[in-house]
A and B are shown apart, each in its own frame.
Chain A
Amino acid sequence: MVQTFYSGFVIPFIVGTSVLFAVIIYKYVRWMVRLPRRDKLKVWHGLFSVATLKGIWECFTECLLHRRIWRVNPLLGYMHTAFALGWFLLIVVGWVETIAYLGLRFVPLQGHIFFDYFTQDMDHGPRWGINFEVVMDVLLLYVLSGLVLAVFKRFRSRAMGMKRTTKLTLGDRVAMTSLWFVFPMRLLAESFPSQLPLWWGYSIALGVFFVAMPFSRYMHIFTEVPLIFLRRWGITSEAGREKSFDHFQLEACSRCGICIDPCQLQRDAGMRNVQSAYFIRDRRYNRLTRYVADNCLLCGRCQVKCPVGLELDTLRLGSRHSLSGTPSNGRFNYACDVDRSRGEGRVGYFAGCMTLLSPKILRSMERIFTAAGEQVWWADRDGGVCCGRPLKLSGDIEAARDMMRINAELFRNHGITTLVTSCPICLRVFREDYNLDGIEVLHHSEYFVRLLSDGRLTLKPGGTEKMTYHDPCELGRGCGIYDAPREVLQTVGTLVEPAETRDEALCCGSSLANMAVENSSQVAIAQAVGRAFEATGAGEIVTACPLCKKAIARGTSLPVMDLAEVIEQHLA
């Protein structure tokens, strides 16, 4: 038997493996070939750089050890590591075992996999001082312990730190069921190596799993590896179009479901089919509906949790673009020559649509500018063109660019060097999409910090009144600004934090990014947010976004104020 390494039962395994590798190679080659030239160049540049070494390390820590999942929940982490590391070691040690017993000679794949069958008449005593049988058995037990947890998770996900796990597709079910059989069958077959039916069972389980794998969520096992390298070499998805690189992201999603629990559309508004896990699944299998693509706050709460580090927001925007992009066609030509700005100054202030709808914030800004003795050019106090981000978020990127050009030109015409805005939505698009070389863009919170540290603004210290701060999604997760508003608030009062804060902060629920959500869901989310803040015992909620202010006020009886209003109240 050692000579031929063949027996009828190996056929399912060999067929499965061939299908698996044929499909994977076909997919990867196709996606790589279709990368735009710019990305291909990035691959060539990155290939022989430190990025590759870092990628190898990341493959080790993420694909085998699953460090990021450990952070979500240790049991969940253990389960993933047991599968990945355990199986990987079984293969590697199995390989070494083959060499130890058969010497350095060619052994076909099935010879390694069904080693115990083909060598059952050999002496399996220790070689090189290593008792391979024991080592392999321990590794197998390690994998099996992960399997027990996996089965357990299917029925009791809550115990693994997840309130909800993903619903499965047919491919997933076939793959998962066969996977559950692989390791117990292996244990049985290796315990009774002369029992041919057991080997058949093991081989069939492997074969079915391998055939189903590239069409199921288990495709992530392989796909995370190229994704890690491509990402390290600087390739990203784009909001303005779907790219072939997106496939690497879509198929690297393990549908682990970690993104489901943080989603407020799920936990407060009861939606069960729009979360990133489902969006990715639907897009991958070409059954994405407009409803799912549009029904997301793009709050980024799931993205910070995704253990694979997928660009969930960008992917969703790409889909929206494909589903809804209306050509720009000079739609906004009517706004080209609009200039209703007033005032003179190197510092410009852009209120944005949402601040224009909140006159209190505008008034506070004016008083603060006066108190600081700032000469201000008011870009849009009497009406102006929207910053373009809402249109971008809807998928109409080309049309949004027209609006961006109109505004950028307006800023340049007035020769400002600093642009202050009180709206994080505008801030983010100014920073990410506008070309504003020579103009420094500041959120009002950052501007206040500067005024305070330059001594241009003095504030009366507040009483003992406790206040709590809401991180707007676009400001916190979007622009990475967490400290500036807190710094300002701490000078005038006592700040208390809600349970979920900073990069885990809740979304107000009225994000402009959600094109489909109904009023009742927005209110339900606002009420949940309100409760979270009320639990801090604070007397007022402060935020730094005009939209968040309006949205949260719908869900709480506490006063909700913008940072500018708080400052104004404390002007010395």
Chain B
Amino acid sequence: MSAIEWGYSVLPARTMDLDRNDLGPVREMLEEMPQFGACIACGGCTATCTAGNLTSFNFRRVHTLVRRGEYTGAWAEMNKCMLCGKCRLVCPRGINTRGVVRLIKRKLGDY
């Protein structure tokens, strides 16, 4: 079976339980930075991302998960961001994306 490498694989099943996730931290974040809530998860930021171009870092994935209360690993992932600012220039919602990076790091540093 392992002889053929197709380049893609089946992901383990994954569900998100919004009732069970702790939405406290993300509410705090949205309060501090309401524009974060304007994200439409279009992925423009990730498509242009300098860090994402070099490694598996996926900015949209991380901040979208954070908005749903899935925080595990978010801080470590955000640490890959170089704050270069490209994402902000392409974001159709004009979100201060670098502010989002730093907000997530600050709020979830010890999560």
The residues of A with any CB-CB pair to B shorter than 8 Å are 324, 326, 329, 331-332, 334-335, 338, 353-354, 356-357, 383-386, 388, 390-391, 394, 396, 403, 510, 512, 515-520, 547, 550
Contact = CB atoms under 8 A, between A and B. Distances in A.
B53 A383 contact: yes
A326 B83 CA distance: 13
B85 interface: yes
Contacts of B51: 335
B80 A334 contact: yes
A434 to B, nearest CB: 16
B83 A338 contact: no
B84 A353 contact: yes
The SS class assigned to the A binding surface is loop
B64 interface: no
A519 B96 contact: yes
B2 interface: no
13 contacts: A331-B79, A332-B80, A332-B82, A334-B55, A335-B55, A338-B54, A383-B54, A384-B54, A386-B50, A390-B82, A403-B82, A515-B102, A547-B89
A190 B58 CA distance: 77
Contacts of A354: 84-86, 89
A-B pairs, 3 with minimum CB distance = A519-B94, A386-B82, A353-B84
Contact of B89 (A334, A390, A550): A550
Most chain-A CB neighbours within 10 Å: which of B82, B86, B105? B82
B92 to A, nearest CB: 11
A384 B49 CA distance: 11
Contact of A516 (B89, B90, B94, B99): B99
A519 B95 contact: yes
B72 interface: no
Given A335-B54, A384-B54, 19 more contacts: A326-B105, A334-B55, A334-B80, A335-B51, A335-B55, A353-B50, A354-B84, A354-B85, A354-B89, A383-B53, A385-B54, A390-B83, A390-B84, A394-B102, A515-B98, A516-B96, A518-B94, A547-B85, A550-B89
Interface of B: 35, 48, 50-51, 53-55, 79-80, 82-86, 89-90, 94-96, 98-99, 102, 105-106
A354 B90 CA distance: 11
Among B86, B89, B105, max chain A CB count under 10 A is at B89
Contacts of A326: 79, 105
A394 B96 contact: no
Contacts of A519: 35, 94-96
Most buried by B among A388, A403, A518: A518
B74 to A, nearest CB: 14
Contacts of B105: 326
Contact of B86 (A335, A357, A385): A357
A34 to B, nearest CB: 29
Contact of A391 (B55, B83, B86, B99): B83
Contacts of B89: 354, 357, 510, 547, 550
Contacts of A357: 48, 86, 89-90
Chain B interface SS verdict (over half): helix
A331 B80 contact: yes
A127 to B, nearest CB: 69
A429 to B, nearest CB: 12
Contacts of A515: 96, 98-99, 102
Contacts of A512: 83-85
Nearest to A323: B106
B67 to A, nearest CB: 19
A534 to B, nearest CB: 23
A334 B98 contact: no
Contacts of A331: 79-80
A332 B55 CA distance: 10
Contacts of A520: 94
A385 B84 CA distance: 9
A496 B80 CA distance: 44
Given A324-B102, A517-B96, A394 B90 contact: no
A520 B105 CA distance: 25
Nearest to B48: A357
A444 to B, nearest CB: 19
A512 B84 CA distance: 8
B78 to A, nearest CB: 10
A547 to B, nearest CB: 8
Given A331-B80, A334-B54, A383-B54, A353 B99 contact: no
A6 B90 CA distance: 75
B79 to A, nearest CB: 5
A34 B79 CA distance: 34
Nearest to B57: A334
B96 A518 contact: yes
Contacts of A332: 80, 82
A31 B94 CA distance: 44
A353 B80 contact: no
B47 to A, nearest CB: 11
A357 B50 CA distance: 10
Contacts of A391: 82-83
Contact of A386 (B48, B84, B94, B96): B84
Most buried by A among B35, B98, B105: B98
A181 to B, nearest CB: 45
A196 to B, nearest CB: 60
A482 to B, nearest CB: 25
